[in-house]
Amino acid sequence: MSIEVKNLHPLEIKVLLNVEEGEEIDYGLLAERLQFKVGQCNQAFSWLTAKSLIQDIRHIEKRSYELTELGKLYQREGTPEERILKFVVQKGAAAIPEISSSLELENKDTGSAFGSLSKEKVLAMNADKEVTALQDSPSPRMNTIRTLLDRAQAKDGTLEESELSEEEIAAISTISKKRGAGGTPFKLIEGEEIVYSFTKEGIQAKQDLQEAGITGEEVGTLTSEMLADGSWRGRQFRAYNVNSPANRTLLGRKNPYTEFLESVKDKLVSLGFEEFDGPLVETEFWNSDALFMPQFHSARDIHDVYQIKDPTHAKEIEQPYLDQVASAHENGWNTGSRGWQYDFDRDFTRRLILRSQGTVLSAKQLPKAAIPGKYFGIVRCFRYDQVDATHLSDFYQTEGIVLGEEVNLRTLLGLLKMFAEEVAGAEDVMYVPGYFPFTEPSVEVHIKHPELGWFELGGSGIFRPEVTEPLGIDVPVLAWGLGIDRMALMSLGLNDLRELFSPDIENIRLRRREA
Amino acid sequence: MPKIEVDKSAFYRYLGITADEEKLKEMFPTAKAELDGVDEEKNILKIELNDTNRPDLWSAPGLARQLRIHETGIIPEYPFFSAAEQKLDAEDRTVTVDPGLIHIRPFITAFAVTGKPLDDPGLKEIIQIQEKICWNFGQKRKSIAMGVYRSDLIQYPVRYTAADPDAVKFVPLDFKRELSLREINSIHPKGKDYGHIVADFPAFPFLTDSNGDVLSYPPVINSARIGAVEIGDEQLFIELTGTDIYSLTLATSIIACDLSDMGYTILPVKVEYPYDTPFGREVVTPYYFQEEMETELSYIRRQLGIDITAADAADLLRRMGIGAEANGEGVRIQPPVYRNDFLHPADIVEDIMISRGMDSFEPEMPKDFTLGRLTRETEFGRKVKDIMVGLGFQEMIYNYLGSKRDFLDRMGLTEEDGNGIIQVANPMTENFEFVRSSILPQLLYSESVSGNAVYPHKSFEAGKIAYPDENDNYGSVTKNYLGFLHSDNGADFNVVSGYVSAVMFYLSREYSLEELDDPRFIPGRGASVLYNGNIVGILGEVHPQVLENWGIQMPATVCELDLDALLTKEG
């Protein structure tokens, strides 16, 4: 394995340059020669081993003692023995309970400290069962413990057994435990130390470093201070591995589905369409009656709607549209139609529902439409459907109208062709007679999509006069709707409509649209 | 949309011309039909019919008829129709009607069938026709129901009466014992399905022959004897009852024509009413009632954008089976006996279009110049979204329907505290029962399912919400809102307040904050956003109880702004 030595970390470089072939490498060596701390040693060992530049040659058993929280407290404020001795020396003789309560020790701890110190002839019990001091100074054992505590504190809380004298080892073993060390000042840690040496590759890397003149002192991060004081001058910069994995960067972005919908909106605007919009809650009047769908007809089955619980009905329907639409249903009004020949229900028509088709807004646009005019909307609709991969309870519909004196079936076909080519990028277009309750004639457009093959892009037709005339329009009106969800799914690489509205943040972060 | 299954060989026989599935696909647009699939094992074609106004197409013979006429130009004759000016002789085949039915189920039509024994495909076809006509066209039997009987067991006249639902009893089909009409409603499967149609009337419709032998309890169930039709029966009696004489009579015509096309002979039946009907008190059915219609050539030309002569238009209409003739600068049509879908000359125009074929029309681009533009709300929304993206937020898009649990309960809100929310009266499940009045619950829902996504989470949606407003004509208003959420260790009020400040700065909107007491926020760490003296939004640190309700284990702040209110300029 050949190593790109310029990409080595300064820690690795220093080890390679400062250790000779055949030397044994361990913590002690690196600490002494390079002033590495334990953490730096570990990093250097792990990286160099991973690159096969060093290998382990020997494992040594190693015991060390680590200060516990209690140990740190003893170091700071004195061991119980030290505190009891000091108390008795300063305050004179005192009973064990008095000592305990003054020093906030437990009686048994005070008792056992007294036991040790009386054996060492430092303390004694007088006739009044009071503790008295036989000498002012601590015992040699106490001194040893004090030294251990202070030394451990100075060395990040850890003492290697190899650094201790026999006497110290004897003392520390009485105040340390391997497990459950919370009640003792030291925790005994048994481990092993690994001793390494260079591999062939390591020696090669050392030579390469020397030849390349890399010292490990190269600059890592360029700082503002270095720029301010000019200290970057004359220094080498460490080369980075440009192929190391890139950081995960989180960014703000639009949802790819709304991006798709907006691209369709922009396309329609560029084709001369003005956008319309409206409330989510609608009346049966605008949702179906104004579209000349008879109140009794099975065609209303396919628009099964969600009804609003409260209030159930709108206060009123705009006039003169209500009267005119009602007459159109009953007898055709003056549209030249015979109408549906039934009694129009003026109560039912006020029933509030959730909009079930985008055509509602096309109808609502008619009374205020300009002639000529082109309008569209991409609007949320609601259906009483079991939710699955191909049905949602709420979803977007893309609908619109074209009004004008010269509008007819051929311009309808031209419009559909324009949508097929401009919006869907279709290669081929086919027209088929269709059926919609509000258009006559009605035409479906099927397109050959470069990736999806043949599918139905949309439905369209010329609004029935029973729709347009009661709403005050006396020119032909083309009405159209586009099914763009399949294209949306394809452009997002999905095959389940529910995914379009996914709440999963990671899923959305990673989702892309075909460029 | 009706879907039918037809026996392949029977269908090709009715079609009368050599064809295969490829040819059918070419022909189907004439009838707005689509071939859904072919079951080769059962020899069945599955077909979807798109025109809900053409019930005559919802059967194998009916669909074949339309395709055959367009292909051959030959219009079939149905000599068994009576009309106002010409009543056929019904011999002894008479139905009498009880005056009590006028407000219950006032109309009945009938005819007899003979000529050949009923075979298996024939029986299946009749059952399918009955289902499609009565279910899709007859509002699930409410306005049209049909019964088929063994006419050799019937003694004319048949009596259509209003019967006492408790006193009258008979053995219904599929049962061995007598039940009263009311018992049928509660015990018989068909009674459970259809009994409700007449259950509230004091008397129920009832059909017997002159001997009192029971035919049926329409619109619910036949009797077990006269009403039990089997393969091999050669003499049939068919009746339809209903509430609308026009659709009922049309349905009768369709079924008679279908059976005639299947090779049976149709014999007319006379119905005697004790009250007036649009067709008189004595009606012989099948009955042709459709009216002639006339349209001007200029209308046809304007709608289709083509130059066409009256003679050519009439030819094209005849190719659809419609009686048509040129009449000066117009065309006069006579609808076929099985169609009643000509309400307006626009309906004639469509048949001309279909007959001529879609390929015969050259598409033309609309020439009128119009200005395209987005709504102000969309433009404003896009500006807001750009700012949010710039602030590092990921746009989300959510469904608008949800549950009370998510929209209120988990947010620590109750409806009683004035948090009105629009409820659906007929939800499919409780998961889609409410319209969202805020975007915040869904932003938190996202958090509850995205705990594994790398933090920080910064998400937003600009979309619609709706809430009750009794001053509005519809009792509710729909608004464009922005909602956003920041979740991370250290996501605190100061940070979210900074985002609000940035949004308002780049929208050039002066605003102020006011402390807000809201159960969704940690007390003292929620605020209202004031603009133009009105509250236009809220922000704050989400209360740990709310986070716990959602199972979220990372602090979060949220903000919601009314974009419609912010769209209004100050002053």
pLDDT digits (tens, 9 = 90+) for B263-317: 999 999 999 999 999 999 999 999 999 999 999 999 999 999 999 999 999 999 9
CB contact under 8 Å between A414 and B454, yes or no, is: no
Chain position carrying tokens 């004359």: A234
Q: Is the peptide bond before B456 cis (omega within 30 degrees of 0)?
A: yes
CB contact under 8 Å between B382 and A508, yes or no, is: no
The Cα–Cα gap between A216 and A207 comes to 14
**What was the pLDDT predicted at A515?**
61
Which among B343, B367, B476, B484 is the top mutation candidate for probing chain A, defined by the most A β-carbons within 10 Å of its own β-carbon?
Answer: B343
Chain position carrying tokens 């092993």: A192
**Chain A residues close to B426, C-beta within 8 Å:** 306-307, 384
CA atoms within 13 A on the CB side of A162: 9
Q: What are the tens digits of pLDDT across the range A152-201?
A: 888 888 888 888 888 888 888 888 888 877 788 999 888 888 899 999 99
**What was the pLDDT predicted at B74?**
94
Q: How confident is the model at residue B527 (pLDDT cuts 50, 70, 90)?
A: very high
The Cα–Cα gap between B403 and B463 comes to 18
Q: How confident is the model at residue A1 (pLDDT cuts 50, 70, 90)?
A: very low
Q: Which amino acid is at B205?
A: P
**Nearest residue in chain B measured CA to CA from A375:** B372
**Nearest residue in chain A measured CA to CA from B443:** A503
Of residues A274, A384, A465, nearest to B346 (C-beta): A465
Per the DSSP assignment, residues forming a β-bridge with B240 are B109, B146
User: For strand B556-562 and strand B534-542, is the pairing parallel, antiparallel, or unpaired?
Assistant: antiparallel
The interface residues of chain A toward chain B in range 323-352, judged by CB-CB distance below 8 A, are 332, 335-342, 352
Residue A449 has pLDDT above 90, yes or no: no
CA atoms within 13 A on the CB side of B394: 30
Phi, psi of B165 (to 5 degrees): -65, -15
Q: Which parts of A352-438 are beta strand (E)?
A: 352-354, 373-382, 394-403, 428-433
Q: Which two tokens stand for residue B387?
A: 């700012």
Answer yes or no: are the C-beta atoms of B481 and B439 closer than 8 Å. yes
**Helix H segments across A104-178?**
107-119, 140-154, 166-174
Nearest partner of A424 among A487, A356, A352, A371, judged by Cα = A487
Sign of the Cα torsion B355, B357, B360, B366 reads: positive
**What was the pLDDT predicted at B498?**
97
CB contact under 8 Å between B344 and A276, yes or no, is: no
A363 or A96, which is more confident?
A363
Q: What are the tens digits of pLDDT across the range A377-393?
A: 999 999 888 888 888 88
Q: What percentage of chain B carries pLDDT values higher than 70?
A: 99
Q: What are the tens digits of pLDDT across the range B397-417?
A: 999 999 999 999 999 998 877
Nearest chain B Cα distance for residue A293, angstroms: 11
Phi, psi of B162 (to 5 degrees): -100, 110
Of residues A339, A418, A435, nearest to B343 (C-beta): A339
Phi, psi of B330 (to 5 degrees): -155, 180
Average pLDDT score over residue span A235-256: 89
Q: Which two tokens stand for residue B528?
A: 């209202």
Q: How many residues does chain B have?
A: 571
Q: What is the pTM of this model?
A: 0.81
Average pLDDT score over residue span A283-291: 95
Q: How confident is the model at residue A223 (pLDDT cuts 50, 70, 90)?
A: very high
Chain position carrying tokens 């050959």: A448
Sign of the Cα torsion B227, B232, B236, B242 reads: positive
The Cα–Cα gap between A2 and A49 comes to 14
Which among B364, B403, B404, B454 is the top mutation candidate for probing chain A, defined by the most A β-carbons within 10 Å of its own β-carbon?
Answer: B364
A506 touching B (Cβ < 8 Å): yes
Nearest partner of B158 among B82, B239, B236, judged by Cα = B239
Residue A3 has pLDDT above 80, yes or no: no
Phi, psi of B107 (to 5 degrees): -115, 145
The interface residues of chain A toward chain B in range 6-45, judged by CB-CB distance below 8 A, are none
The Cα–Cα gap between A1 and B398 comes to 53
Q: What are the tens digits of pLDDT across the range B409-454?
A: 999 998 877 678 999 998 888 899 999 999 999 999 999 999 999 9
**Nearest residue in chain A measured CA to CA from B382:** A262
A373 touching B (Cβ < 8 Å): yes
Answer yes or no: are the C-beta atoms of B109 and B239 closer than 8 Å. yes
**Nearest residue in chain B measured CA to CA from A434:** B32
Q: Which residues of B324-335 are buried (b: 16+ CB within 10 A; e: fewer)?
A: bebeeebbbbbb
Nearest partner of A84 among A134, A127, A148, judged by Cα = A134
Average pLDDT score over residue span A91-119: 87
**What was the pLDDT predicted at B359?**
93
CB contact under 8 Å between B399 and A393, yes or no, is: yes
> Residue B153 contacts by C-beta under 8 Å, 6 or more apart in sequence?
B209, B213, B225, B226
Q: How confident is the model at residue A298 (pLDDT cuts 50, 70, 90)?
A: low
Answer yes or no: are the C-beta atoms of A230 and A51 closer than 8 Å. no
Q: Is the peptide bond before B523 cis (omega within 30 degrees of 0)?
A: no
Average pLDDT score over residue span B134-158: 92
Q: Which amino acid is at B560?
A: E
The CA–CA distances, whole Å, from B4 to A299, A377, B11 equal: 17, 35, 12
Answer yes or no: are the C-beta atoms of B61 and B261 closer than 8 Å. yes
**Nearest residue in chain A measured CA to CA from B433:** A306
Does residue B105 sit in helix, strand or coil? coil
Average pLDDT score over residue span A492-514: 91
CB contact under 8 Å between A250 and B454, yes or no, is: yes
**What was the pLDDT predicted at A303?**
54
Q: What are the tens digits of pLDDT across the range A263-286?
A: 999 999 999 999 999 999 999 999
CB contact under 8 Å between B394 and A382, yes or no, is: no
CB contact under 8 Å between A270 and B350, yes or no, is: no
Per the DSSP assignment, residues forming a β-bridge with B493 are none
**Chain B residues close to A246, C-beta within 8 Å:** none
Q: Which amino acid is at B395?
A: E
Of residues A275, A332, A433, nearest to B353 (C-beta): A433
Of residues A282, A370, A411, nearest to B305 (C-beta): A411
Average pLDDT score over residue span B138-146: 91
Answer yes or no: are the C-beta atoms of B334 and B321 closer than 8 Å. no
The Cα–Cα gap between B57 and B31 comes to 7
Give the distance between the most distant pair of CA atoms in chain B.
Answer: 94
Residue B570 has pLDDT above 70, yes or no: no
Nearest partner of A18 among A10, B364, B410, B503, judged by Cα = A10
Question: How would you write A222-236 as a 3-class SS string?
Answer: CCHHHHHHCCCCCCC
Q: What is the mean pLDDT of chain A?
A: 90
User: For strand A186-198 and strand A352-354, is the pairing parallel, antiparallel, or unpaired?
Assistant: unpaired
Radius of gyration for chain B, computed over Cα atoms and rounded to the nearest angstrom = 33
Q: Check residue B451 and give left, alpha or beta (phi > 0: left; psi -120 to 50: alpha).
A: alpha
Q: Which two tokens stand for residue A382?
A: 């609601």
Nearest partner of B526 among B562, B489, B500, judged by Cα = B500
Answer yes or no: are the C-beta atoms of B30 and B67 closer than 8 Å. yes
Q: Which two tokens stand for residue A168?
A: 């110290």
Q: What are the tens digits of pLDDT across the range B165-203?
A: 999 999 999 999 999 999 999 999 999 999 999 999 999
Neighbours of B103 (CB within 10 A): 10
A251 touching B (Cβ < 8 Å): yes
DSSP conformation letters of B204-237? EEEEE-TT--EEEETTTEEBSSTT---TT---EE
Chain position carrying tokens 């807001």: B384
Residue A252 has pLDDT above 90, yes or no: yes
How much helix, strand and coil, in percent to the nearest 5, is found in chain A? 40, 20, 35
Does residue A275 sit in helix, strand or coil? strand
> Residue B497 contacts by C-beta under 8 Å, 6 or more apart in sequence?
B513, B527, B539
Q: How far is CA B557 from the centre of its chain?
A: 45
Phi, psi of B291 (to 5 degrees): -100, 150
A319-333, B122-136, B311-325, B527-541, range with the lowest pLDDT? B122-136
CB contact under 8 Å between A440 and B389, yes or no, is: no
**Nearest residue in chain B measured CA to CA from A255:** B395
Q: Which two tokens stand for residue B155?
A: 């003694």
**Chain B residues close to A501, C-beta within 8 Å:** 397-399
Q: What percentage of chain A carries pLDDT values higher than 90?
A: 47
Nearest partner of A398 among A326, A459, A446, judged by Cα = A459
CB contact under 8 Å between A408 and B302, yes or no, is: yes
Chain position carrying tokens 């129901």: B145
The Cα–Cα gap between B226 and B189 comes to 19
**Helix H segments across B464-507?**
493-506
Q: What are the tens digits of pLDDT across the range B234-259?
A: 999 999 999 999 999 999 999 999 99
Q: What are the tens digits of pLDDT across the range A38-88?
A: 888 989 999 999 999 999 898 888 888 988 888 898 999 899 989 999 988
A351-360, B132-141, B316-325, B524-533, range with the lowest pLDDT? B132-141
Q: What percentage of chain A carries pLDDT values higher than 70?
A: 98
Q: How confident is the model at residue B554 (pLDDT cuts 50, 70, 90)?
A: very high
Residue A403 has pLDDT above 60, yes or no: yes
Chain position carrying tokens 């030849």: A211
